[in-house]
Amino acid sequence: MSTQTYPKQYPFLTRQEFDVAAKSFLEQSKNVVGEGWIWIEHERLIRFGYLSRKMIIQKVNAYSNEFKTEDITPITTDVEQFEQVEEVEDPDGTPLTIDEIYSCLIQPSRLEDIKIAGFHGGISQQDHPTLLIPFYYLHPCETATLMKSIVDRPRSTKFNSDNNNLLISLEGYIRSWLSLIGNVVGIKIEIDYFL
The residues carrying an active-site annotation are 141
Judge whether 100 and 111 are in contact, CB under 8 Å: no
Judge whether 76 and 83 are in contact, CB under 8 Å: yes
**Residues 89, 139: Cα–Cα separation, whole Å:** 20
State how far Cα 167 lies from the chain centre. Answer: 19
- Cα within 13 Å of Cα(109), Cβ side: 3
Judge whether 52 and 38 are in contact, CB under 8 Å: yes
**Residues 65, 150: Cα–Cα separation, whole Å:** 38
- Cα within 13 Å of Cα(94), Cβ side: 8
**Residues 164, 186: Cα–Cα separation, whole Å:** 33
Instruction: Mark residue 26 as left, alpha or beta (left: phi above 0; alpha: psi -120 to 50; beta: remaining).
Output: alpha
